[in-house]
A = this chain, B = another copy of it.
Amino acid sequence: MDNIREQLKAVGARYNKSLPHYDACIQLVSAAYRKLEDDADFAAYGRFAGKPAVDYYTFSNNFFTSRPVRPDIYISSYDELIHSIEQLSRSLENRPSRLNNEDIETSNRVVYTAVMSVACCYDLWQRGSRKTPGTFFEFLMAALLQKMLPAAVFSKHISLASLLNDTETGEGVPVDIEALESDEEEGGAASVSTDLVIGMPDRRGGVVIPLKITTRERIVQPFAHQRILNSAFGEAAYQSLLVCISETQLDEKTRSVKQVCVPGTVKLFQKYLAPIGGLYYCDIPQRYFAADMQKIIPVKSVGDFFRDLAKIMELNGQL
């Protein structure tokens, strides 16, 4: 596990310096996947009592049980994983706006397997680091999107300092939404940081990509941020695509899995805060896939996300 922790640190160091970090991500995923193969059991845990029921597995060692994993999405052999990663990488480089159904399924499974293998290693062997799997999700998506959009301008913040015309914040100092909430400290600047922002070179605006492993009460953030961006830059400037994994909770008593969903909340936010462009999941919760939700907000797979984003960038002359 020391090895995996070190590799993750190295990925983060490269990412923070804006150095290419795709290869380092894939090496880390390989190591995590193999560690689970070698040192953990992967077996049925319980089901989500939906229509139809959904089976979940968990990884376990002698001491701990991992978060629930969908065996139908998690890639089941190392060779297939490596092959699928290569396929994804090729299709993102060559035809991201024309991904076919097979490409879409492959990308979805690769992202799921990559993120869940790292997350489950942390569940079993490094339980103190609760936020790390989410951080890795961000690293991985940034790596894949940089492959897909080599000319795009990526950032983590949208400066909103000009909205707050008080002297303290200072013009030009970034005011950033999520840093707003997490990193902004006393006296710090204000901004709207939303995990990943892909800018448009010829105009203000772009695509905001919040990335979350389980949303919980944080589901409100992308809608609130979109609202602020609309107020700040007009409704056409930015659009948000929310990308998520694993909206689940183990119930140890009944050995079952809950898909934790708040469809009414999401509908309210979409209608009364600000509409976002889509809700993308590797493992779409059943309740979110229903027709009443789709009427109000597009709910699709993370495979679809790559194609939708590529199309947006193509429309903006970026691809």
Contacts and interface: CB of A to CB of B under 8 A. Distances in A.
Interface of A: 50, 160, 163-164, 166-169, 175, 177-178, 180-182, 184-192, 216-221, 223-224, 227-228, 231-232, 258-265, 267-269, 271-273, 285-287, 292, 295
Nearest to A187: B287
Contacts of A228: 268-269, 272-273
Contacts of A218: 217
A269 B225 CA distance: 9
Nearest to A221: B220
Contacts of A189: 264
Contacts of A166: 267, 292, 295
Contacts of A223: 224
Nearest to A184: B262
A138 to B, nearest CB: 15
A232 B216 CA distance: 24
B261 A190 contact: no
Nearest to A173: B264
Contacts of A191: 264
A299 B228 CA distance: 22
A269 B224 contact: yes
A159 B184 CA distance: 34
Contact of A185 (B180, B216, B261): B261
* 8 closest residue pairs by CB, A with B: A190-B264, A180-B265, A186-B287, A231-B272, A228-B272, A181-B217, A184-B262, A224-B224
